[in-house]
Chain A
Amino acid sequence: MRLANTSVAVSDERAHTAQSLSGDAYATFIHDLYVEFLIMDSHHSYSQVKGVSTGTTILAVKFNGGVIIGSDSRASMGESYVSSKTINKLIQVHDRIFCCIAGSLADAQAVTKMAKFQLSFHSIQMESPPLVKAAASIMRELCYNNKEELQAGFITAGWDRKKGPQIYVVSLGGMLLSQPYTIGGSGSTYIYGYVDAKFKPDMSLEEATQFSTNALALAMGRDNVSGGVVHLVVITEAEVKHVVVPGNKLPKFHDE
């Protein structure tokens, strides 16, 4: 029986305490770490690994004829390091279906890769473009069955022939819900009031674009782990259009 080479990243406080240990105390520390490493094999993830996380703001809104799905572009590590200024959190899982992710970037990428594969397989079997609900259901299955290990939430939005534009949100534990508009990520808390007040059903494309850009700009202005540029994807029956609003073109508000 051999253990493979493994490294276990430890949080800052533990690292600090470890550096000051010696002798028996150090042996105990290593022993405890080893125990946690063993226990990590089992069902629970006592994950001390603080990897790259998308502290983020994501939203999706239905308008007359399509959906807009949007996000900021910042990926952060811990609270104070921006590991990417220009990451794209809008992932295409099929021709007219997009996903955006909030939470652990690694988890989100793994889930969306799996979902993309399963969805394309399903679409080939059915010999027709998949339903948005099918895509969302696949994400929900993955999130629900692996809820102990995963730390990511998703917004799935798109257009299909059966029901037109739709938005589904899959939350952390694996709940699936359909909504006319939805926001997510750490920056979303600051814009609940704004989107509740400003959303109208059946908006035009221009109104919906303004709504999304404003909401994301406001959230980026208040949340320090959201920022960068605004990525918007407009999905309609006819086409999929990716719009990027750079920092200097974002709307400014009263105190800026």
Chain B
Amino acid sequence: MHFTVVFSGLSGVCDRLRQARVRTPAAGSFSNVVSVKMATVLQFPASVSTFNNYNDLYPDWTQREVSTGTTIMAVEFEGGVVIGADSRTTTGAYIANRVTDKLTPIHERIFCCRSGSAADTQAIADAVTYQLGFHSIELDEAPLVQTAASLFREMCYRYREELMAGIIVAGWDPRRGGQVYTVPVGGMMTRQPVSVGGSGSSYIYGYVDSNYRAGMSKEECLKFTAEALTLAMERDGSSGGVVRLAVISEQGVERQVILGNQLPKFSTV
């Protein structure tokens, strides 16, 4: 939709002003134009934007919230799920924690990968852990991954205005096997065979789309996740450090860490 105002000499402006019942000088008199120009050329228009809000006296991390700008990923395979995350937590340009663990246990065989505000995601994960533990005791059996995901979704949707949290819930339950549910910012929930999240995820959509195949084995999934996370960490300034991986299956949870010098290598530009 376009709204155009035609400035045709002073008369155009005068007509509109006249419609607005404002007193205008006689047509043909330019003194108004001159005085307007002189008075206003020194003014900043309303839409000027300030580019740098902080001055150099205070480092920027004193004014920024702690954020897990991050890359997280989860992949389903036959018999379980593989989840992975980088390990960087930033406060502005300062890396507050370079060995963060973003893979948080919610129950024995259910984990969540956290991205977004570190405070928000920790608080939500704590609340859901409590609710799910209580539910599991009432039920007297292992909770479903879908239940955990629904609890996350309830909280993320209800408090969507206050929260900044993107969460991937993944785990294994006896009824449906390995499952991955994604609950992005805003509070939607959907099940996907492979899901990526966090700021670094934009860079690896192409890689994940082209390399994922249904029916991969556990080792293939681990390699796929490690490579995808490495590529994202190379391009995203808010992701980095080590790659943390976990495999969740009927047998339990196996965790591993891939250190910086052991990350897969790609040809450098």
Contact = CB atoms under 8 A, between A and B. Distances in A.
A34 B2 contact: no
A74 B13 CA distance: 39
B58 interface: no
A192 B203 contact: yes
Contacts, number: 139
Interface in A23-40: 23-24, 26-27, 30-39
A190 B1 CA distance: 30
B215 to A, nearest CB: 11
B202 to A, nearest CB: 5
A253 B20 CA distance: 60
Contacts of B17: 27, 30
Interface in B69-127: none
B5 interface: yes
A191 B203 CA distance: 6
A193 B45 contact: no
B26 interface: no
A15 B206 contact: no
Contacts of A201: 267
Interface in A209-226: 214-215, 218-219, 221-222
Contacts of A9: 2-4
B196 to A, nearest CB: 10
Interface in B218-245: 227-228, 231-232, 234-235
B9 interface: yes
A38 B41 contact: yes
User: Which of under 10, 10 to 19, 20 to 34, or 35 or more describes the interface residues of B?
Assistant: 35 or more
Contacts of B21: 23
B13 A253 contact: no
A22 interface: yes
A22 B212 CA distance: 58
Nearest to A10: B3
A219 B2 CA distance: 31
Contacts of B13: 30, 34
B46 interface: yes
Contact of A10 (B2, B16, B22, B202): B2
A14 interface: yes
A236 B218 CA distance: 44
Contacts of B207: 191, 193-194, 197
Given A8-B5, A23-B20, A254-B213, 14 more contacts: A4-B8, A7-B6, A8-B7, A22-B20, A189-B203, A190-B206, A193-B203, A193-B204, A194-B204, A194-B209, A195-B206, A196-B267, A197-B227, A218-B209
Interface of B: 1-10, 13, 16-17, 20-22, 30, 33-34, 36-37, 40-41, 43, 45-48, 202-210, 212-214, 227-228, 231-232, 234-235, 266-267, 269
19 contacts: A5-B8, A10-B4, A27-B20, A27-B22, A30-B13, A30-B16, A32-B45, A34-B36, A35-B43, A36-B47, A38-B41, A179-B269, A190-B206, A193-B206, A193-B235, A194-B209, A195-B206, A196-B266, A254-B213
